[in-house]
Amino acid sequence: MKPIKAHVLFYGRVQGVFFRAYTEENANKLGIKGWVRNLPDGSVEAVFEGPEEAVNRLIYLCRYEHPHARVENVKIEYGEPEGFREFKIRY
């Protein structure tokens, strides 16, 4: 199966609640490559690359399953994978 890339913006209470660490942990469990970072406006930006089912699962986990975050909106743009080799938190 060909990998997909999702560029995702998460809005709501997503900073100061270990959102990036949660995303990294679950990305590694699911075999997703890419990155996640906080943005100055209080949102979190991420790029997920991997099998479509795993990418969609990670988006779901981040949106609905984080124990302390409150995600109010998500914007997703799909594109061609860039070939990331790992998942990283960007600072």
The catalytic residue among 20, 57, 73, 90 is 20
- Let me know the angle formed at the C-alpha of 11 by 9 and 15, rounded to the nearest 5 degrees: 100
**Who contacts 40 (Cβ-Cβ below 8 Å, separation ≥6)?**
none
Task: Report which of 60, 56, 89, 67 is spatially closest to residue 14, judged by C-alpha positions.
Answer: 67
Q: Is 38 a catalytic residue?
A: yes
Tokens of 69: 């975050």
37 is catalytic: no
The active-site residue out of 13, 37, 38, 63 is 38
Active site residues: 20, 38
